[in-house]
């Protein structure tokens, strides 16, 4: 068992943040998630986040995964104080951090994400893991690496409910194997069929950890149209745009559910 202490780490909200698709609620505010080829279990106790089924050798990984080196206090402090909408979003979702996720898994997850709901993305990703990943424990499987998916037939990919994205995934696998020794950038990702600005921004934010990247999906466009009269607010072009975007994305979805 290891613990991480912070006020900006809300497991429940992170699990529903739309940046990760392999988190599950275990009930009683406990969550499991698959990353780093392992299944982690976590809960919050006395202001600390506890990882109950792992030891010190995962501490460095989890500190990186949960972005503990970034000062969210500062990011929130320098946000525009006169923007009532953004400040309300921060108050509600300030416990969400931008995760440092695996590049390859994030590439495939967000290629799948286009024109799909978050539950549908989770379902697709989980099916791909069950069919092509390695069994870790119980019914949990690792995310298959690029070499494995590059050798899977389009038919077998399509059986995972990815639809027309099957060829995108396969060409992304080949691209990734060719470029795996290079430093991948936002611009390079745009070369891959099926990856446009929005998806490349998501990958750059959630895997390359460029906090200035600001994915504009249907929810963000709705925010621009209805909350800012069709004009991009200043914070969308700031150096922490991706973080503010995450709060706003979740806040707008939250408001629509009420």
Partner DNA sequence: GCCCAGGCGTCCC
Partner DNA sequence: GGGACGCATGGG
Beta bridge partners of 39: 34
Nearer to DNA, 22 or 198 (CB): 198
Comparing CB distances to DNA, the nearer of 53 and 127 is 127
The CB-of-3 to DNA minimum distance in angstroms stands at 27
HSE-CB at 14 with a 13 A cutoff on CA atoms is: 26
Nearest distance, CB of residue 1 and DNA, angstroms: 30
Rounded distance between C-alpha atoms, residue 78 and residue 76, angstroms: 6
* Count of Cβ atoms closer than 10 Å to residue 187 Cβ: 9
**Bridging pattern class, strands 48-51 and 38-45:** antiparallel
CB-wise, 34 or 111, nearer to DNA? Answer: 111
Nearest distance from C-beta of residue 39 to DNA, angstroms: 21
What's the closest the beta carbon of residue 45 comes to DNA, in angstroms? 27
Reduced to 3 states, what is the DSSP secondary structure of residue 241?
Answer: helix
Q: Which is nearer to DNA, 19 or 142 (CB)?
A: 19
The answer to whether 25 and 31 are in contact (CB under 8 A) is yes
Which residue is associated with the tokens 């060829």? 167
Distance CA 224, CA 131 (A): 40
Nearer to DNA, 149 or 202 (CB): 202
- Phi first, then psi, for residue 211 (nearest 5°) are -70, -10
Beta carbon of residue 5, minimum distance to DNA (angstroms, whole number): 25
> Would you say 114 or 179 has its CB closer to DNA?
114
Beta strands, E only, 119-239:
135-137, 140-141
Phi then psi for residue 47, to 5 deg, are 75, 5
Q: From the CB of 46, what's the least distance to DNA, in Å?
A: 29
Q: Which of 49, 86, 129, 35 is nearest to 251 (CA)?
A: 86
Binding-site ranges for DNA (CB under 7 A): 17-19, 110, 113-121, 123, 158, 161-164, 192-200, 202, 215-220, 245-246, 249, 253
């Amino acid at each position: 068992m290891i613990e991480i202490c912070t006020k900006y780490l809300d497991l429940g909200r992170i699990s529903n943040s739309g940046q990760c698709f392999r988190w599950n609620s275990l009930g009683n505010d406990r969550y499991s998630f698959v990353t780093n080829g392992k299944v982690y279990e976590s809960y919050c106790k006395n202001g600390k986040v506890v990882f109950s089924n792992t030891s010190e050798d995962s501490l460095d990984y989890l500190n990186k995964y949960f972005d503990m080196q970034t000062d969210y206090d500062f990011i929130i402090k320098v946000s525009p104080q006169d923007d009532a909408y953004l400040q309300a979003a921060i108050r509600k979702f300030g416990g969400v951090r931008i995760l440092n996720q695996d590049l390859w898994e994030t590439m495939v997850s967000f290629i799948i994400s286009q024109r799909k709901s978050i539950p549908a993305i989770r379902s697709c990703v989980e099916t791909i893991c069950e069919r092509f990943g390695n069994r870790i424990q119980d019914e949990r499987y690792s995310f298959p690496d690029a070499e494995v998916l590059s050798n899977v037939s389009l038919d077998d990919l399509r059986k995972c409910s990815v639809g027309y994205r099957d060829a995108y995934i396969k060409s992304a696998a080949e691209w990734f194997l060719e470029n795996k020794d290079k430093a991948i950038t936002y611009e390079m990702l745009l070369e891959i069929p099926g990856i446009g600005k929005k998806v490349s921004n998501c990958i750059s934010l959630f895997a390359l950890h460029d906090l200035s990247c600001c994915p504009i999906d249907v929810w963000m466009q709705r925010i621009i149209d209805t909350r800012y009269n069709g004009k991009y607010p200043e914070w969308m072009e700031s150096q922490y745009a991706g973080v503010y975007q995450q709060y706003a994305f979740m806040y707008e979805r939250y408001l629509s559910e009420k």
